[in-house]
A and B are shown apart, each in its own frame.
Chain A
Amino acid sequence: MSLLHIAILAPLFYAILTGIIGIKLKGIHTGWLVLPVPTVIFGFFLSMIPIVQQGNGGLHELPWIPSLGINFSVYLDGLSLLFSLLISGIGMLVVLYSIYYLDKKREAVHRFYVYLLIFMGAMLGVVLSDNMMVLYGFWELTSISSFLLIAFWYNRERSRYGALKSMLITVFGGLAMFTGFLMLSAMAGSLSVREVIAQTGEIVGEPLFLPAMILILLGAFTKSAQFPFHIWLPDAMEAPTPVSAYLHSATMVKAGIYLVARFSPVFAGQPEWFWLVSGAGLCTLIYGSVRAMKQTDLKALLAFSTISQLGLIMSLFGLGSASAFFTGSADALFYTKATTAAVFHLINHATFKGALFMVVGIVDHETGTRDLRRLGGLMALMPITFTIAVIGAFSMAGLPPFNGFLSKEMFFTAVLQAAKMDFWNVQTWGVLIPVIAWIASIFTFVYSMILVFKTFLGKGKPEALEKTPHEAPMGLLISPVILASLVVVFGFFPNLLSYSLIEPAMAAVLPNMLSSGEQFDVHITFWHGWNAEIFMTLGVILIGILIFLIFNKYRLLNSPWTERFTLNRLYDKGLAGYEKGSSKVTKSYMTGSIRHYVIYIFAAFVLLLTYAIVDSGGVKIDTSGFAPVSFYEMVIIISMIGSVLVLPFVKNRLIAIIITGMSGYMVTLFFVLFRAPDLALTQMIVETVSVMLFLLCFYHLPKLRKEMVPLRFKWTNAIISIAAGAVVTLLALGASSDRLFASISDYYIKESYNLAGGKNIVNVILVDFRGFDTMLEIMVLGIAAFGIYALIKIDSGDEIIGLGDRRVDLMLPNSNDVILRTISKLVIFIILTFALYLFLSGHNNTGGGFIGGLMTAAALVLLSMAFGMNISEKIIPVNFRTMIAAGLLIALLTGMGSFLFDAPFLSQAFDYFTLPLLGKTELATAVLFDLGVYLAVVGVTMTIIYSIGRDN
Chain B
Amino acid sequence: MELYMALTIGVLFAVGVYLILSKSLLRIILGTSLVTHAIHLLLLTTARLKTGAAPLLGEKAESYVDPLPQALILTSIVISFGVTSFFFVLAYKAYQRLGTDDMEELRGREDE
Contacts and interface: CB of A to CB of B under 8 A. Distances in A.
Contact of A791 (B11, B18, B68, B90): B90
A780 B96 CA distance: 26
A595 B95 contact: no
A762 B91 contact: no
Interface in A549-594: 591-594
A660 B16 CA distance: 10
A547 to B, nearest CB: 54
Contacts of A726: 10, 14
Interface stretch (A9-17, A301-309, A704-712): A704-712
A633 B75 contact: no
A766 B93 CA distance: 34
Given A594-B28, A670-B41, A745-B47, A948 B89 contact: yes
B85 A745 contact: no
A410 interface: no
Contacts of B10: 725-726, 728-729, 732
B30 A732 contact: no
B1 A644 contact: no
B52 A675 contact: yes
Interface stretch (A47-55, A330-338, A516-524, A715-723): A715-723
Counting chain A CB atoms within 10 Å of each CB, the highest count among B21, B37, B48 belongs to B21
Interface in A628-653: 628-629, 633-634, 637, 640-641, 644-645, 647-648, 653
A733 interface: yes
A749 B55 contact: yes
A667 B14 contact: no
Interface string B33-69: 1100110111011111111111111100000111110
A745 B67 contact: yes
Contacts of A670: 5, 41, 44
A166 interface: no
A760 B55 contact: yes
A648 B64 contact: no
Contacts of A667: 37, 40-41
A163 interface: no
B57 A753 contact: yes
A68 interface: no
A759 B84 CA distance: 32
Nearest to B38: A728
A648 B78 contact: no
Given A644-B11, A752-B57, A765 B71 contact: yes
Interface string B64-92: 11111011011101110111111011111
Contacts of A675: 50, 52-55, 65
A759 B74 contact: no
A762 B52 CA distance: 15
Contacts of B55: 675-676, 749, 760-762
Contacts of A660: 30, 33-34
A700 B96 contact: yes
A704 B90 contact: no
Interface residues of B, number: 85
Interface string A317-333: 00000000000000000
- Chain B, interface SS category: helix
A180 to B, nearest CB: 40
A721 B15 CA distance: 7
B9 A792 contact: no
Given A674-B65, A788-B85, A733 B3 contact: yes
A626 interface: yes
Contacts of B40: 667, 679
A846 interface: yes
Contacts of A676: 44, 54-55, 65, 70, 73
A657 B57 CA distance: 38
Given A717-B22, A759-B56, A728 B85 contact: no
Given A728-B42, A729-B6, A937 B78 contact: yes
Contacts of A599: 21
A108 interface: no
Given A690-B81, A781-B78, A787-B86, A674 B101 contact: no
Contacts, number: 295
A194 B48 CA distance: 60
A748 B95 CA distance: 47
B75 A773 contact: yes
A753 B67 CA distance: 14
A633 B50 CA distance: 13
Contact of A732 (B5, B65, B91): B5
Nearest to B9: A732
B1 to A, nearest CB: 4
Interface stretch (A23-31, A154-162, A681-689): A681-689
Interface string B88-112: 1111110111001101100110001
A693 interface: yes
B70 to A, nearest CB: 5
A648 B19 contact: yes
Contacts of B82: 780-781, 784-785, 940, 944
B58 A844 contact: yes
A774 interface: yes
A877 interface: no
A762 B91 CA distance: 34
B37 A766 contact: no
A759 B2 CA distance: 28
A675 B47 CA distance: 12
B54 A702 contact: no
A777 interface: yes
A733 B44 CA distance: 12
B78 A721 contact: no
B26 A704 contact: yes
A538 interface: no
Nearest to A698: B92
Contacts of A724: 13-14, 17
A743 interface: yes
Given A675-B50, A729-B10, 4 more contacts: A626-B1, A627-B48, A733-B6, A736-B46
> 3 closest Cβ contacts across the A-B interface?
A725-B14, A729-B10, A784-B82
11 contacts: A595-B23, A647-B30, A656-B26, A656-B27, A679-B73, A720-B21, A736-B2, A743-B47, A765-B68, A766-B75, A846-B54
Interface of B: 1-24, 26-28, 30, 33-34, 37-38, 40-42, 44-58, 64-68, 70-71, 73-75, 77-79, 81-86, 88-93, 95-97, 100-101, 103-104, 107-108, 112
Interface of A: 591-595, 598-599, 602, 621, 623, 625-629, 633-634, 637, 640-641, 644-645, 647-648, 653, 656-657, 660, 663-664, 667, 670-671, 673-679, 682-683, 686, 689-690, 693-694, 697, 700-702, 704-705, 707, 709, 717-718, 720-722, 724-726, 728-733, 735-737, 743-745, 748-749, 752-753, 759-762, 765-766, 770, 773-774, 777, 780-781, 784-785, 787-788, 791-792, 794-795, 844-846, 850, 854, 937, 940-941, 944, 947-948
